[in-house]
Every structure is written in structure tokens, then in C-alpha cells.
Structure 1
């Protein structure tokens, strides 16, 4: 199974690029963020024609998340919001069952400018994620957390740390929150398989950051203990960022091997017959 996450930065604007990527790479499950579209204009028909069913939660102008699954069987909704704050009306979290996995798609708040209410909201949202993720991790089900975390975990994940030292994405509180999340036992797939490699998932539109490969790693896929042994490959489809009118993010993906099935015990008669 190939599972991916992609901040499309506007699904109406980037639909041709999204469909092109789906056709070329063929992921089985996809988490999308920053749809920037209401539910009624989500391109369900175009995605269905491309071979994908979908579950989505849109929002005007900003936010919005979706989970795509290859085939006719749609993702089975588990929840459409992150628990912990009934007053939070931002579309940033979607959780579904897909092909035997629990898939949580998230778009963590950016937090800029800081200090201020946006940074406070980011940290509060992170605390809610930690609380919910702890239950998911211990659920006994294979679980994946995937999305735009808006976190630069370490200096290895940014082209020039000094340029981002004031940004909400790499504040000590932000990094500590991500580290605490991993401390529950979650595996950061890209870092697990590429521990020393500079890998970026985002290049903003300014100062030729894409052309200079001046990027950040802020899109992450995390696996719990039940799913981590199936991790075989992980990477970034950076070619997508080089397309015309591209999102400022590129898709991150992992390949998961088949779940191991415990061998059935042989009957006594079979065992007896097998003896020399």
C-alpha cells in the first residue's frame, strides 16, 4: 500500500496538478490539506473519474481536509473534528477507516504572527492533538497520522535555520510539542528511513526558494507501533513542486508492506501425519 499526504494549497486552483500526480504515482490512500473550498464545490466527480472515492470537510478561503481512497469503496468516517474544543470551527482534522487502517489527516495551525492569539491557538491545538493521539496510539489498531504539521522538527529540516528562528514553525515550544508527540511512540517515517538526509517538503514562492532548493520539511507521516513494522519506503514527490502553478508543498509518501497474518495452528491429525 502506498499512502501519501499533500497540501494542495487550493483544490480548485490545483486540481489539474493533483490529477496529474494521482495518475503518475497512483497512491492508494491520500490525505489532502488546505482545500480552500466549501464542501459543495469539492471536485468529487473529477476524482471519481480518476479512480478515487473521497471523504472531505471544506471551509471557505482557508483550511479544509480530505481523505482519498483508490477504488469505489469510500473512506469510512470516524470523526470530522479534533476533540477537546467544541467551539473550534476550523476544518483541520478528519479521521477515517481505510483498507484496515485508521487514517488521521491533519492541518496543524501555522501560528504566525507570534506572539499572539494565532500562536496560542497553534499550541492549544497541538495539546489537543497529543491527547487524542495518545488514545489512537494505544488503540491496538494500525494508525497513521499524516498531514501538514507546520513544524520544522530540527535544524536538519530547514535550509537556513537563522532565517526562520523567529517563525512559529520552529519555536522551541513548537518543536517540543512535536517531540512530545513522537515520545508517545510514533515513528516519523522520512526521518526513520533517512536519518541524516536533508529532505524538504515545502518551498515558498519568494526569492526563488524552489529554484535554489531552499526548503523546509513540515509535512509528516507518523505510524504507531502496530503499523511501523510494515514501513518499507518513504519519500517526497518533489517533481510536483516544479509544475506550472504548483502548490508550495510536494506530496510525501510511504509504502507499507502487507500485514503479517499469524499462521493457523495445525490440527493434531495433520501434525501426527506430518511426523516421520
Structure 2
């Protein structure tokens, strides 16, 4: 199974890019975050014409997650929202069984600042992920993918000193992330690239992409039922395309897995 996870930062603005991604990589499943699309406006027909069935969890102009699944794969057991998350209306979690694999698209709360109430909400969201992940892994092959808004360690941020006192790098966030892995998941990128950088996000400012001033915020967490065969960050989709449109600030993460 080839799976892609991508924070598109507005599906409406990025639709041509999504179709380019489908053409370039022919994924079986695409996990999207920040679709920023109302449920009634979600482009189901357009994706169907491209050969993909879409299931979505939408919250209008903010957040939103979705799964795009190739038409020849069976999709069932769709779940929108996560038990224990701070606000299910924010549409940050969708899961479905795809070809016998439980696949999740997740968008973790940013947290704003360590002294902000949303930081506690972020940690609570990780706790909810951990509890649900434990159940999913016990049930069989599982992939939890998405923008998890945390750097696992200092290799995952271009300059740790520049983020002192900020979110995404705190010991609390990292410990909560590790607690998710501890239920029986592996970080797919680290499985393939134990010493790699693998940034997936770059600020729009300061020429950050050109200078590689990035962070690794997007992950695919894979249960032991599956072997990780390949992982690639496709920076092409973080650059302006020939039409000159503004890209998302995230690049897609591609992961190939197969059953042991």
C-alpha cells in the first residue's frame, strides 16, 4: 500500500496540486489535513472522476481532515472524531478501514504557546490519540498519519535554540508523542532514515525552503503488522509550480508499507 499524508492548507486553493500528486505518485490512500472546506462543498465528484472515493470530516473554513481512497479498495468502518479530544467539532480526526488496514488522517492542535490553554488541549489530544491507537493496534494493521505538530527530537528542527519557549519542541509534547508510539507503532520515516532530517514544513518567510530552515511535523505511524519499505518527502509540492501558484507550507510524505 502506498500512502501519502499532506497538510494542504486549503483544499480549494490546492486542488490542482492534489491532482498533480495523484498523477505523480498513484497512491492507494491520501490523508489530507487542513482541508478548510465545508462538508457540503467537499469535492467528492472531482475526486471520483480521478478514481478516488473520499471520506471527510469537515469544519468549514478551519481545520478539516479527509481520506482519499482508490476506487478498487474497500472502505468501511468510517469514524469521524476522536473520543477524548478537546473539541470534536474542530474536525481533526478521521479513520476508516481501507483494504483491511485501519488508516487515520489526523491534525493535532497547534498549541500556540506553552502558557496558553490550547497547549493543555494539545497534550489532551495526544492522550486521546494514544488511547485510540492502543485499541486500533490491538485490532490489526494500523497507520496513523498526518500533521502531528511536534518535532520528535532536535534533529527534526532546523535550529532548536530558535524555538526555546515555543511549542513543537517542548519535553511535554515530545513525551506525549512517544507515549503514542509506545502502544505499538513506529515512526515510518525513522525506520527508513534513522539519521535523516526529513523536514516536511517550512515557513513562507525568510526563504526558509531554499535555506532548508524547516521542521518535521508530518508523520506516518505504522503498527508492527506492516513493514515500512520506503519513505519520501516530496519537496516538489512545496515549491511554486509552473502556474506560479502559492504552495502549501507543508510537503507531502509518501510511505510504502506491506503486510509481513
TM-score tier, shorter chain, comes to over 0.9
CA RMSD of aligned residues (A): 1.5
- Rounded to whole Å, the distance in 1 between the matches of 2:112 and 2:87 is 21
In the TM superposition, 1:141-220 aligns within 5 A as: 141-220=140-219
- The answer to whether structure 1 residue 242 and structure 2 residue 239 are counterparts is yes
In the TM superposition, 1:123-138 aligns within 5 A as: 123-138=123-138
- Rounded to whole Å, the distance in 2 between the matches of 1:87 and 1:171 is 23
Report if the CA contact (8 A) 1:53-1:74 is conserved.
Answer: no
Runs of at least 4 residues of structure 1 off by over 3 A? Answer: 85-88
TM-superposed deviation, 1:125? 0.9
TM-score of the two chains, using structure 1 as the length reference: 0.89
- Rounded to whole Å, the distance in 2 between the matches of 1:75 and 1:62 is 26
Q: Deviations over 1:214-272 (max 9, x none)?
A: 11101000111212xx2211111111101331100011111123x35xxxxxxxxxxxx
Q: Specify the alignment match of 1:32 in structure 2.
A: 32
Higher strand share: 2
SS in 2 for 1:233: strand
How many residue pairs get aligned? The number is 256
Q: Deviations over 1:54-85 (max 9, x none)?
A: 10011122110000111255632431010125
TM-superposed deviation, 1:86? 8.1
SS in 2 for 1:89: helix
- Rounded to whole Å, the distance in 2 between the matches of 1:32 and 1:88 is 17
Distance 1:87 1:6, change over 3 A: closer
Gaps of 5+ in 1: 261-276
- Rounded to whole Å, the distance in 1 between the matches of 2:10 and 2:103 is 22
Distance 1:248 1:191, change over 3 A: same
Gaps of 5+ in 2: none
